[in-house]
Structures are given as structure tokens and as C-alpha cells.
């Protein structure tokens, strides 16, 4: 959420930011019209309240017919006052709904574009693999090695579900634990957070309103439509929601900052609107696990920039440890979320796709989430400011298993395990075909 004063003073910038992100700019005009009416009506209501209080004080000193006459006159005034209060309440509700739709303008260095086709490559790492045999995709490898079972996942839960088994399950756990250990060694606090959260947490981190169709909700559809803010719980699509909300409503001390958190959790996404897209294999599924970096820091753009580089480097380092080739892109405005002001994606090479595929995202929000979370800090002089927040997918599985299996496959159908992961696999160096 943005500061309404900032919006009033930078209307053209906010409108351009909305257009660049594919959001209709006329909501800014609507917001400002309501903002003006709201401020005027607040003044009127406050004046009326003061007048009523003064009148009530005078009436208490009157007697007889004069008192009765004054009370009757006040009753008519009270009816008008009640009507104005109702109007004020309606304006405040509409104002808040519109404020939640106003996007943060992207930084000047962000490329302007419509979708991921307009993202800009800024660097690559590693050499693309070559094979002296016909390589298999991860689905075929998973079936042959008895480590992935998609048909039974679909049978049990529907499309885009799967089973990981045998070394497939162990490899996912190894990837996650290796990444978490690496972050903890760098000073991050590890979290296993709730994966069911209230509407407020989804709203505060910027996923609601607007992203409800992507979330799994607990409760009936009728209940959710009747009162979404009051209904049940929602399954998170990232532990960012829970971990960023950890200090919701708190005032931290500047000396505590930055806070470096690492959440590991199951994640759930409905993938609405992706019918027929990436349906093969483990690329776009409904349930997965992630290690998410969440950073809370002081209100300083330079500090945010430094920490963005830090958490992005952490994710790159994991891929380099796995010796997986990747590229980093600057995400364009049209491919960014409402609250993000700068974002990088890391795309890892996937032989079966003959291309890079997105495996990580790294986002800077400045005050956007903190304002919704009412998350502030106190500096040495006692001044209070809203924090800045950032987050990054340090690893997500099973998507990362696609390049791991496909790049490390061998001619005999086995798959080597990256050296750094072998201690997490009980010393196992290779996944081999099971004897029938």
C-alpha cells in the first residue's frame, strides 16, 4: 500500500506506474475523487459532532419548555448526523478498497514490457550440457528410476499432482535441507511457518485482493463470496506470506535490523488461467516445497538494494553449488506484481524444454508490504518509520528436480547426484534403475 499523501503529490508517476504494470490508471482518479469527498465529509462530521456536544452541554442547563424545544431541535440534527456518519463509513470502505488496488511504480531501471517475453537477460552462469546419447526428459527418468509417479498422483488428487518416491523424495529433502543449512550458516533464522493463514495475512503481503483465484481456501464458495475477509483460512503459495507477517503490527528497534529469515514450507497454488500450459511433468503443479528468504530492513533504498543483491546471490550460489547453468533476468513491468518495485528471476537450463525455465524470483517492495502489515521500527532518536521488505525463492522443489535429473542423467539411464548433496543422501552418488 502506498501513502495517500505520496499519491496526491505524484499523480502522474503513479498513473504511469499503473499503465506500465497493465493496471487501469483511472482507479487513481477515482481514488483521488473519493479522497477529496472523504476529507470534506470528515471535516463536516467532526464539526457536527463538536456542535452536538456543545448543544448537549447547553441543554443540560435548560429547564421546562425551553429544554423540551431544544431537545426536539437536536433530535432532527441527530438524524442528519447519523446519515452523514453512514455516508462517511461507505466512503471510507470504498477508499480502502481502492488503496489496496494502487500499484507501486517500478524503479526507473526496470524494463517496460508486457509479459515475460520482455524480460531482459543480465547475466548467465555455467555451460549448457551436451549429450552423446538421446537424453530423456525428467518424466521418463522419473518413471524408469521409480522416483516420480504422476499417474497415481492424478488418480488421487487430480491434474498437476504427483508422487515423489524412493530417491526422488530423498533428493527433494536433500535439496531443501542443503539450502536451509546454507542460509542458517549465513545468519538467517530458520522458520517452519503456518501454511494456513487468515485473509488479513494474504492481503497484507499483497496477494489479496486480486489473487484470490490462485489460492486454495478452506470453507464453502458461498461463505467466501459472502464475507471473504471473515472466512476461514487460505493455503499459502509461499512462506513469504506467513514469515513476512510474523511481526505484523509491531514496532521494532532499528538496532534489530536487518532481520534475515528463511521459511521452509509446503506451498499451494491453483494455477488458475494456465489450462493447457506446461501440463507435462513437474514444471507447473499445485503443491510444492520452498525455502524462502524474507528480509525486513530499515527504510533506506540503498539498504534495500544491497540486501536484494545479497539474497539473489544466495540463490545463485546454491545453483552454482549444484553446478546447474542458469541466467538472471531483469523482470519487466508487465511481469511484476502490484507491490514489487524491482524483481529478478533466475531461470535454470532445462534440456527437455531446450530453454531456460524460471526457478527463482527475487523481489524488493520498499514500504508496500510494511504499510499493509503496519510494520514499523524506531530509530535512535525515537522516530518511527515503516520498514522495507524483500523476499527471494532460494530453492523450490520439485521444479528444481527437472534440471537436476535431466542434466545429471547418464547414458546407462542412471542419474548422478551432485557432490554437495551426497552427504544428505546417505552418501549415495547415483540413482540407478531398480531391478524389476
Please tell me which residue in 358, 378, 416, 422 is annotated as part of the active site.
Answer: 358
Domain formed by 116-431, architecture = 2-Layer Sandwich (3.30)
Question: For this structure, is 352 an active site residue?
Answer: no
Please tell me which residue in 160, 224, 376, 399 is annotated as part of the active site.
Answer: 399
Please tell me which residue in 67, 94, 270, 284 is annotated as part of the active site.
Answer: 284
Backbone phi, then psi, for 311, in 5-degree steps? -75, -30
Question: For this structure, is 160 an active site residue?
Answer: no
Please tell me which residue in 245, 265, 361, 397 is annotated as part of the active site.
Answer: 361
Question: For this structure, is 269 an active site residue?
Answer: yes
**Could you give the 3-state DSSP secondary structure of residue 322?**
helix
Pairing of strands 196-197, 163-164: unpaired
Domain formed by 4-99, architecture = Orthogonal Bundle (1.10)
Determine the Cα–Cα distance for residues 238 and 1; give it in Å rounded to an integer.
Answer: 20
pTM, two decimals, is 0.91
Per-residue pLDDT of the chain (436 residues; tens, 9 = 90+): 999 999 999 999 999 999 999 999 999 999 999 999 999 998 988 877 777 676 666 667 666 776 666 666 666 666 777 888 889 999 999 999 999 999 999 999 999 999 999 999 999 999 999 999 999 999 999 999 999 999 999 999 999 999 999 999 999 999 999 999 999 999 999 999 999 999 999 999 999 999 999 999 997 566 656 665 555 899 999 999 999 999 999 999 999 999 999 999 999 999 988 877 777 899 999 999 999 999 999 999 999 999 999 999 999 999 999 999 999 999 999 999 999 999 999 999 999 999 999 999 999 999 999 999 999 999 999 999 999 999 999 999 999 999 999 999 999 999 999 999 999 999 999 999 977 5
All structural domains of the chain with their residue ranges = 4-99, 116-431
CB 114 within 8 A of CB 332: yes
Determine the Cα–Cα distance for residues 197 and 265; give it in Å rounded to an integer.
Answer: 13
CB-based contacts of 122: which residues, under 8 Å, 6+ apart?
328, 329, 330, 344
Determine the Cα–Cα distance for residues 97 and 91; give it in Å rounded to an integer.
Answer: 10
Question: For this structure, is 399 an active site residue?
Answer: yes
Amino acid at each position: 500500500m502506498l501513502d495517500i499523501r505520496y499519491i496526491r503529490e505524484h499523480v502522474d508517476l503513479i498513473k504511469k506506474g499503473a499503465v506500465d504494470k497493465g493496471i487501469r490508471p483511472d482507479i487513481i482518479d477515482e481514488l483521488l475523487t473519493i479522497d477529496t469527498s472523504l476529507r470534506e465529509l470528515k471535516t463536516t462530521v467532526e464539526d457536527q459532532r463538536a456542535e452536538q456536544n456543545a448543544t448537549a452541554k447547553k441543554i443540560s442547563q435548560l429547564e421546562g419548555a425551553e429544554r423540551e424545544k431544544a431537545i426536539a431541535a437536536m433530535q432532527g440534527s441527530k438524524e442528519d448526523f447519523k446519515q452523514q456518519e453512514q455516508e462517511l463509513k461507505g466512503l471510507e470502505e470504498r477508499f480502502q478498497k481502492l488503496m489496496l488496488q494502487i500499484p507501486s511504480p517500478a524503479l526507473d531501471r526496470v524494463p517496460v514490457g508486457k509479459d515475460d517475453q520482455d524480460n531482459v537477460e543480465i547475466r548467465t552462469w555455467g555451460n549448457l550440457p551436451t549429450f552423446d546419447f538421446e537424453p530423456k526428459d525428467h518424466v521418463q527418468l522419473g518413471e524408469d528410476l521409480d522416483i516420480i509417479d504422476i499417474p497415481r498422483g492424478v488418480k488421487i488428487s487430480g491434474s498437476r499432482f504427483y508422487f515423489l518416491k524412493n530417491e526422488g523424495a530423498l533428493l527433494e529433502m536433500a535439496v531443501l535441507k542443503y539450502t536451509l543449512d546454507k542460509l542458517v550458516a549465513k545468519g538467517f533464522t530458520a522458520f517452519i511457518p503456518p501454511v494456513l493463514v487468515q485473509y488479513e495475512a494474504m492481503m497484507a503481503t499483497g496477494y489479496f485482493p486480486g489473487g484470490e483465484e490462485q489460492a486454495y481456501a478452506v470453507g464453502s464458495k458461498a461463505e467466501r463470496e459472502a464475507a471473504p475477509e471473515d472466512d476461514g483460512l487460505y493455503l499459502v503459495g509461499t512462506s513469504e506470506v506467513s514469515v513476512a507477517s510474523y511481526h505484523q503490527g509491531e514496532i521494532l528497534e532499528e538496532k534489530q535490523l536487518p532481520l534475515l529469515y528463511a521459511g521452509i514450507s509446503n506451498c499451494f497454488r491453483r494455477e488458475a488461467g494456465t489450462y493447457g500450459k506446461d501440463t507435462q511433468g513437474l514444471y507447473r503443479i499445485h503443491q510444492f516445497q520452498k525455502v524462502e528468504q524474507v528480509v525486513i530492513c530499515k527504510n533506506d533504498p540503498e539498504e534495500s538494494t544491497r540486501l536484494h543483491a545479497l539474497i539473489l546471490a544466495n540463490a545463485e550460489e546454491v545453483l552454482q553449488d549444484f553446478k546447474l547453468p542458469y541466467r538472471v533476468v531483469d523482470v519487466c513491468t508487465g511481469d511484476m506484481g502490484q507491490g514489487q518495485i524491482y524483481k529478478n528471476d533466475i531461470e535454470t537450463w532445462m534440456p527437455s524444454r531446450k530453454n531456460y525455465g524460471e526457478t527463482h524470483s527475487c523481489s524488493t517492495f520498499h514500504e508496500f508490504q510494511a504499510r499493509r502489515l503496519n510494520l514499523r521500527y524506531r530509530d535512535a532518536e525515537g522516530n518511527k518509520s515503516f520498514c522495507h521488505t524483500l523476499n527471494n525463492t532460494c530453492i523450490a522443489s520439485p521444479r528444481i528436480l527437472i534440471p537436476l535429473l535431466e542434466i545429471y542423467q547418464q547414458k546407462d539411464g542412471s542419474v548422478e547426484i551432485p557432490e554437495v548433496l551426497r552427504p544428505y543422501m546417505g552418501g549415495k552418488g547415483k540413482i540407478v534403475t531398480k531391478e524389476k
